[in-house]
């Protein structure tokens, strides 16, 4: 079996690129688990619409219909709370979840007609902790739409039982090659066979996920090594006969402590970035050894601008003091993975539900 890696696409991008004069392509990038951005192309008009159709199919499991009202607490790309008419959604950057905005946030979340809450699994914890159990239970949350991070099943079941929440959870990635939905019946992940083809590589318990995209134009991903891991399924599900896996081992929930002593989810701050920021660096890693402080190690690229890089991160992590260190190399884990965040402070019991 011929396997395609990120490194091969970086070294020979045109070899994996299929163009047409009639199909506009959009240039995209992703950080990936290696810490080095992967630049790829997709059909500007079709890929996102296809993605949205499948995502809506996942969300309908909790009753969501297109254009239903959502409150979104995910990426941290803005410093203000605002409404998106196109999405019919209230966008709340994680930085805005603070005491100064408490009255406004309580009003927004107390919307009498109810709403769908669109979050990272880690930001859900932040929201519950901010409002407290008693107030949070009064919100009319029709369903929780949770993606972009691993969501421990025991944790999801705890939220379902204790807060009465219904979840739509899924696995996907920026390359638009494969997509899987979490099934509440068998408690496993079903891959959409019409979206892309997923396969597992390896003989151990934890196997590597290979992805073959069904997109015809743009960067062609064939037996593409996603660098995510999965545990194969050993059961059948009465819902459908889609290919499925028991567990997907992806990006985990991670937290830091800001200057005010508040815990914040790390994922939205870094993985919500979709800009030329990733072109300025080859690799980056954040470490917290003290409350309110993050140490930032980075390997600059040829496009690096120190002033722009420092200004961007200081604005994004405005509730922290950043210490910058330029290095030549950032070591990976024993498996060769890149670790974006290292937390050396103790996490209190309230985060271990």
Distance from C-alpha of 228 to C-alpha of 337, rounded to nearest angstrom: 10
Report the Cα 78 to chain-centroid distance in Å. 17
pLDDT of residue 167: 96
Q: Identify the bridge partners of residue 84 per DSSP, sorted by sequence position.
A: 89
Query: CB–CB of 235/198 below 8 Å?
Result: no
pLDDT tier for residue 33 given thresholds of 50, 70 and 90: very low
Q: Are 167 and 149 in contact (CB under 8 A)?
A: no
Cα–Cα distance, 193 to 214 (Å, whole number): 9
Burial grade of 154 (CB within 10 A; 0-12, 13-18, 19 or more):
exposed
Per DSSP, the three-state class of 154 is helix
- Angstrom distances, CA of residue 29 to CA of 113, 194, 282, 285, 349: 38, 24, 13, 18, 37
Q: Is 298 exposed, middle or buried (0-12, 13-18, 19+ CB in 10 A)?
A: buried
Please check whether residue 137 is in contact with residue 109, taking contact to mean a CB–CB distance below 8 angstroms. Answer: no
At residue 242's C-alpha, the angle toward residues 65 and 50, to 5°, is 45
Q: Phi first, then psi: give them for residue 126, nearest 5 degrees.
A: -60, -45
Neighbouring-strand partners of residue 146: 119, 169
pLDDT at residue 352, rounded to an integer? 47
Strands 224-232 and 244-249: antiparallel
Cβ neighbours of 58 (radius 10 Å) = 21
The position carrying tokens 């159709």 is: 53
- Strands 89-91 and 70-73, by their bridges, are parallel
The pLDDT of residue 2 is: 87
CA distance 283 to 278: 9
The percent of residues in the chain predicted with pLDDT above 90, rounded, is: 58
Mean pLDDT of the residues in the chain: 88
Cα distance between residue 235 and residue 245, in whole Å: 9
Q: What's the mean pLDDT in 259-284?
A: 78
Q: Is residue 42 within 8 Å of residue 176, measured between CB atoms? A: yes
pLDDT digits (tens, 9 = 90+) for 288-314: 999 999 999 998 988 899 999 999 899
By mean pLDDT, which of 54-63, 115-124, 181-190, 242-251 is the weakest? 242-251
Least-confidence region, from 49-63, 246-260, 297-311, 326-340: 326-340
Report the alpha-carbon distance of residue 313 to residue 264 in Å, rounded: 16
Residue 332: per-residue pLDDT? 66
pTM of the model: 0.82
Strand 115-119, strand 141-146: pairing = parallel
């Amino acid at each position: 079996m011929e396997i395609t890696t990120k490194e091969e696409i970086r070294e020979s991008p045109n070899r994996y690129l299929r163009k047409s004069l009639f199909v506009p392509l959009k240039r995209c990038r992703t950080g990936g688990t290696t810490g080095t951005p992967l630049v790829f192309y997709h059909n500007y008009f079709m890929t996102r619409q296809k993605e949205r159709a499948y995502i809506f199919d996942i969300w309908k499991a909790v009753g969501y219909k297109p254009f239903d009202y959502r409150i979104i607490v995910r990426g941290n790309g803005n410093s203000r709370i605002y409404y998106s008419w196109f999405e019919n959604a209230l966008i709340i950057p994680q930085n805005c979840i603070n005491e100064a905005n408490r009255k406004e946030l309580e009003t927004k979340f107390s919307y009498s007609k109810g709403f769908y809450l669109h979050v990272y699994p880690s930001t859900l914890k932040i929201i519950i902790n901010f409002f407290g159990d008693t107030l949070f239970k009064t919100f009319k949350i029709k369903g929780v739409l949770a993606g972009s991070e691993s969501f421990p099943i025991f944790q999801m079941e705890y939220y379902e039982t204790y807060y009465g929440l219904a979840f739509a959870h899924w696995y996907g990635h920026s390359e638009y090659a494969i997509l899987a939905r979490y099934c509440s019946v068998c408690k496993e992940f079903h891959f959409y066979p019409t979206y892309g083809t997923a396969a597992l590589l390896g003989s151990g318990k934890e196997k590597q996920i290979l992805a073959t995209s069904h997109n015809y134009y743009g960067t062609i991903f064939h037996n593409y090594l996603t660098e995510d891991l999965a545990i194969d399924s050993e059961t059948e599900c009465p819902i459908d006969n889609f290919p499925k896996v028991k567990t997907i081992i992806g990006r985990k929930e991670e937290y830091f402590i800001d200057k005010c002593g508040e815990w914040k989810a790390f994922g939205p701050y870094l993985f919500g970035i979709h800009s030329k920021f990733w072109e300025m660096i080859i690799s980056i890693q954040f470490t917290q050894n003290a409350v309110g402080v993050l140490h930032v190690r980075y390997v600059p690229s040829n496009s690096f601008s120190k002033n722009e890089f420092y200004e961007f991160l200081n604005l994004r992590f405005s509730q922290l003091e950043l210490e910058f260190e330029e290095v030549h190399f950032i070591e990976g884990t024993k498996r060769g993975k890149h670790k974006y965040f290292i937390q050396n402070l103790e996490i209190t019991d309230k985060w271990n539900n």
